Structure 1
Amino acid sequence: MTFVQLIDCKTRRFDEMNRLMDTWVEQAKGHRTATHSVLGKDRADDSHFIEIVEFPSYEEALRNSSLPETDKIFREMVALCDEMPTFTDLDVVRDERLYKSSVRNLFGLLAGKGELPSWDEVVAENYHDHDPANEQDVIGMDAMRREVEMWRSGFDFVFTIEDQIADVDRICTRWTWNGTHTGDFMGIPATGRQVTMTGMTIHRCRDDGKVAEGWWQYDRLGLMAQLGALDPLGL
């Protein structure tokens, strides 16, 4: 679960504090486990600052705090503050930015294009996929991989993400799929045709950002028509 720490401090020596933060990042390069940080200034009090530091987990934050560079910088930071800084520890229970990133990575994994995280990092082991084209839902990562292999064996394809909308733990993605028919697909031999398809998918993400469930709607009938698999409706 993503972990965030709020560091609340007051200082009239901001320029020195800012340089100290830069020094911390430089000295801890390759060791620091923080993934993102934001520094904000109070509009009503220009001596009041809050730094928001994000970590992949609480355990990673503890590992970061045990670094010798962290202890040294903390003592220097306290010396620059008007009073003792306070720390607030937060477990992130909703992170729409993380969820969108996970879903984008999933679409990348489906196509197998680019440098991407592993399936284990993106998809929950008990992932549940709802596809109206399948008689039964696809449940579990192994079953999902078999489903993906069926598409990859028939097409060389990519997804283009057109839109993404987040609502709590749900991410709705409007996408365009473009492929080349390079192998057998549902009994249709390779045609070499360039084909395209549009659709929308809603994914549900867990607190840790892994994708746990998906509901698909797409123009599979249009795809089959492009492959020449449909009768010309009596024409």
Structure 2
Amino acid sequence: MTFIQVIDCRTHQADELDRLMDDWVRATQGKRTATHSVVARDRSDPAHVVEIVEFPSYEEAMRNSHLPETDRIFQRLTAACDEGPTFTDLEVSRDEQLNTGVVRTFVEEVINGRNLDAADGLCTDGYTHHDPALTSYDLGLARAKEENAQAFEAFEPMVAVEDLVAEGDKVCARLSYTGRHSGAYQGLEPTGKEISTTGHATFRFEDGKIAESWWNWDDLGALRQIGAVGI
């Protein structure tokens, strides 16, 4: 279970805390068990600084705390604080990255469910679609739906989300898909052959909706599988 430690302190040396964090990251390279760290300052009280550190589990957090490098940096952190820091230990009971949920819904409803109109509620009005396999690398939502409808009909794709990584306003997806070349597409007559390939997509969000996306599929691999190009 994910474990989070919150270190709460008061200091007039906030820049020194930033430097200490840099030192700790360098000193624990290859040893630390922490996966994510955030240092934040209180907007209404600049002397109030909070550090939030995430670990895969409580046990991993304890391993990290026993590193000599961690203890050394902690002693310097304490010295930089106006008063002793306080700690809050949290077991995460729910961890939901909201944008990744939208991406999963997009894949399941729009692509696998063949409900292209569902994209209207998942994407912004100014959505831009980037895909080198389509007629333009910068398509609006309406045109992207039209061209993808042709691809869906020709190849019957079923997409699986293998991995999702979220950072800031972007979500990156590692994808795989299986399908069958059952219809004509861009001059290619249907072969009836099965297709299995992979791809990546990156989504940029605005106000909880997809504002832009970039798609890259192994199109060469797919063309080889249907015999459209040589090895």
**Residue 129 of structure 1: how far off its partner (Å):** 1.3
Q: Which amino acid aligns with 2:214?
A: W
Matches within 5 A, 1:174-185: 174-185=174-185
Equivalence for 2:111: 111
Equivalence for 1:98: 98
**Residue 108 of structure 1: how far off its partner (Å):** 2.2
Do the aligned residues in 1 keep the contact of 2:171 with 2:202 (CA within 8 Å)? Answer: yes
Structure 1: gaps spanning 5 or more residues? 1-94
Q: CA 1:133/1:201 → structure 2, altered by over 3 Å: closer, same or farther?
A: same
Equivalence for 1:145: 145
What CA distance in whole angstroms lies between the structure 2 residues aligned with 1:112 and 1:210?
A: 19
Equivalence for 1:71: none
Do the aligned residues in 2 keep the contact of 1:126 with 1:139 (CA within 8 Å)? Answer: no
1:158-187 per-position Cα deviation (integer Å, ceiling 9, x unaligned): 110000000011000000011111111221
Q: CA 1:116/1:144 → structure 2, altered by over 3 Å: closer, same or farther?
A: closer
**Residue 224 of structure 1: how far off its partner (Å):** 0.6
What CA distance in whole angstroms lies between the structure 2 residues aligned with 1:139 and 1:117?
A: 16
What CA distance in whole angstroms lies between the structure 1 residues aligned with 2:131 and 2:161?
A: 19
Q: Which amino acid aligns with 1:228?
A: G
**Residue 153 of structure 1: how far off its partner (Å):** 2.1
What CA distance in whole angstroms lies between the structure 1 residues aligned with 2:114 and 2:144?
A: 20
Equivalence for 1:221: 220
Q: CA RMSD in A?
A: 2.4
Do the aligned residues in 2 keep the contact of 1:111 with 1:158 (CA within 8 Å)? Answer: yes
Matches within 5 A, 1:59-98: 97-98=97-98
Structure 2: gaps spanning 5 or more residues? 1-94
What CA distance in whole angstroms lies between the structure 1 residues aligned with 2:117 and 2:183?
A: 27
Matches within 5 A, 1:1-235: 97-113=97-113, 118-134=118-134, 136-207=136-207, 209-232=208-231
What CA distance in whole angstroms lies between the structure 2 residues aligned with 1:196 and 1:212?
A: 29
Do the aligned residues in 2 keep the contact of 1:106 with 1:123 (CA within 8 Å)? Answer: no
Q: Which amino acid aligns with 2:188?
A: I
Do the aligned residues in 1 keep the contact of 2:134 with 2:147 (CA within 8 Å)? Answer: no
Do the aligned residues in 1 keep the contact of 2:156 with 2:182 (CA within 8 Å)? Answer: yes
Q: SS of the residue aligned with 1:118?
A: helix
**Residue 100 of structure 1: how far off its partner (Å):** 0.6
**Residue 205 of structure 1: how far off its partner (Å):** 0.9
**Residue 138 of structure 1: how far off its partner (Å):** 3.7
**Residue 117 of structure 1: how far off its partner (Å):** 8.6
Q: SS of the residue aligned with 2:107?
A: helix
Do the aligned residues in 1 keep the contact of 2:110 with 2:119 (CA within 8 Å)? Answer: no
Q: SS of the residue aligned with 2:108?
A: helix
